Amino acid sequence: MLIDSHVNLHHADFDADREAVIARAREAGVRLMVEISDKVSSFDQTLAVAVAHDDIFCTVGTHPHYSSEDADLDYKDVLALAEHPKVVGIGECGLDFHYDWSPRDIQASVFRVHCAAARESGLPLVVHTREADETMAEILTDEMGKGAFKLLMHCYTSGAQLAKTAAELGAWFSVSGIATFKAAEDVRQVIAAMPQDRIIVETDCPYLAPIPMRGRRNEPAYVAHVLAKLAEIRGWTAAEAEQRTEDAFFALFDRIPRP
């Protein structure tokens, strides 16, 4: 079974042909997709995509880029939205110190709100982290100390030390089209060391189209290219890669019924 664990189908890039994109994904063998929330304030758009399709589920949360828009977010507000049966995760949330679109202290405080929501709900936390390894490790370690929760380091491209810390905290990792990029050897080295039973794949569409689709708008149909690269990096057969990532996906997103 092909599964795309991270899609942004509510994005404006899909406004003209959203249903055709979803149809192409199914034709390519993609059986499940997780539609990712980037703002609690626009969660209704994310939820609408999931509700309209039996094979699409969603998350609820605010991306670190938009943390300042949700600076007063309460974890109880996230929990209330997470009660919908289509919601299977909390996030995408975290830290992004590359762009700093929101102040770093607000990013950190809003991220901790999401950690609390994940802990309380039992839903996995979908984590975005970029150029914030030390602070991310500190927050995850501190929040796990308050009570364990599941977490996914989405589209992981950060350092080996943060990956080691996250793995020790029980994290899952998702691999994206970046793994196929010629200049991403450091990313491939980290992927090679990830826990083999906690790796899944994603497109993060419309971003990060994998080779040989690089330069195009990314689509869920392209997730097979990511899976093939993961198999190559880990020395797995195609069938083994598909089975391992499928098992890891359902172990993480355990609110989704396994077909």
Read off the pLDDT of residues 223-249 as tens digits, 9 standing for 90 and up.
999 999 999 999 999 999 999 999 999
Residue-range definition of the domain harbouring residue 216: 2-252
Residue 11: which CATH number? 3.20.20.140
Q: Is residue 7 part of a domain?
A: yes
How many domains are there within the chain? 1
Model confidence at 76, pLDDT cuts 50, 70, 90, reads very high
Mean pLDDT calculated for residue range 153-174: 98
Mean pLDDT calculated for residue range 32-47: 97
Task: Write down the pLDDT at residue 32.
Answer: 98
Q: Is residue 259 part of a domain?
A: no
Predicted confidence (pLDDT) at residue 259 exceeds the cutoff of 90: no
Predicted confidence (pLDDT) at residue 73 exceeds the cutoff of 90: yes
Predicted confidence (pLDDT) at residue 64 exceeds the cutoff of 90: yes
Q: Is residue 106 part of a domain?
A: yes
Return d(Cα 247, Cα 255) in angstroms, integer: 14
| Residues whose CB falls within 8 Å of the CB of residue 27, separated by 6 or more in sequence, listed in order | 221
Predicted confidence (pLDDT) at residue 157 exceeds the cutoff of 90: yes
Predicted confidence (pLDDT) at residue 149 exceeds the cutoff of 90: yes
Q: Is residue 44 part of a domain?
A: yes
pLDDT tens, position by position, 177-201: 999 999 999 999 999 999 999 999 9
What does pLDDT average to over the chain?
98
Q: Is residue 41 part of a domain?
A: yes
Q: Is residue 217 part of a domain?
A: yes
Q: Is residue 222 part of a domain?
A: yes
Q: Is residue 258 part of a domain?
A: no
